Amino acid sequence: MHDIGNGAFIENLLNDNQMIIEPLYLPTQQTCGCQFYIYRGDLECSVAPGNKRHKLKYHLQQASKENKKILATFGGPHSNHIAAFVAQCKHQGLTPLIVVRGETWAKLTPTLRQAVDSGALLFPSERVDYKLGLRANIKKVVDEYYDHQVYWIPEGGAGAEGVRGCLDWANEIYRLCRGKPFHLCIASGTGTTAAGFAASGFSSMTVFSALKGVVSLTTNIENQCLDAGLSINTSIKGFDEALHGGFGKVSTAQLDFLKTLKTLNPDIPLDPLYTSKMVYKVNQLCAQGEWQHDHTLFVHTGGLQGWQGLPLEKQVY
């Protein structure tokens, strides 16, 4: 067990919190001298594990205040946001409605099939219209059909409500760390989770975008903080290029890395689209001598169901 300045700190932390923070061993860490840990958000909740539950927290509360029984959102055919959204709606007796990116398919993806089996309503959307989000024509169609009785949640659970929910989550993790000097690592889609952590007690973090064509990542995160009425307390560095072929795709190098990582950490599965790409990049930076943080905490944001969208030959866990 590694020590970060207080003999039994990590050992007590693991024992006190059901192993929710664990050491993560990277292939390069023996040479770089850094120590890595991972917060297991994937273990938090069997219904909706990871960051999505926290991003939905205040959205669901607001829908309840407005007495809305139909909740709608946007998502791709393999979206872990969709999986968590449907699970949360089902748990609270609400009707989930999903605007799905892309035209209809001859066969539903495992994520969408599970959503339909849980009572979700699916509305396909052309990609051009989908990009408009809450300004999309498909939203107008849905609102008119349901007599404007639908509560809308932005894609990925974004918006001020999502940021505030992630701030609550960040503060829980910060208290769990007991003020120890972890440098934080967050994978980013919409940037909502990172914005919540930027307003927390952590002093520094690095954010890794999983999306293609992202520019000014840190500015986007800072703007989301401000839009939510929150102050930025964290020093932020962003990486925009950890794509492995683009969002929703995995590379051979990434899969080979995960196979090696699995031998070092057999009980810590990573998702294919977010957390694994982040850890891959940090391992790469360590190999290049460019990672200068002695004690790093990765936040596992869930999304393990994303493996369902990959063929058998690409399965690692």
Residue 177 to residue 281: CA distance in whole angstroms: 24
* CA distances for 220 relative to 29, 146, 300, angstroms: 31, 33, 21
Tokens 């057999």 sit on residue: 266
Strands lying side by side in the sheet with 121-125: 121-125, 95-101, 70-75, 150-153
Helix (H) or strand (E) holding 65: helix 51-65
Q: Are 26 and 280 in contact (CB under 8 A)?
A: no
Helices (H) and strands (E) in the chain — how many of each?
A: 12, 10
- Active-site pick, 79, 188, 200, 276: 79
Q: What is the DSSP string of 3-29?
A: -SSSTTHHHHHHHHTTTSEEE---TTH
Residue 78 to residue 42: CA distance in whole angstroms: 17
Residue 253 to residue 156: CA distance in whole angstroms: 27
Query: Tokens for 185?
Result: 């690592």
Asked if 235 is an active-site residue, the reply is no
Decide: residue 299, CB within 10 A, 0-12 exposed, 13-18 middle, 19+ buried.
buried
As annotated, the active-site residues are 79
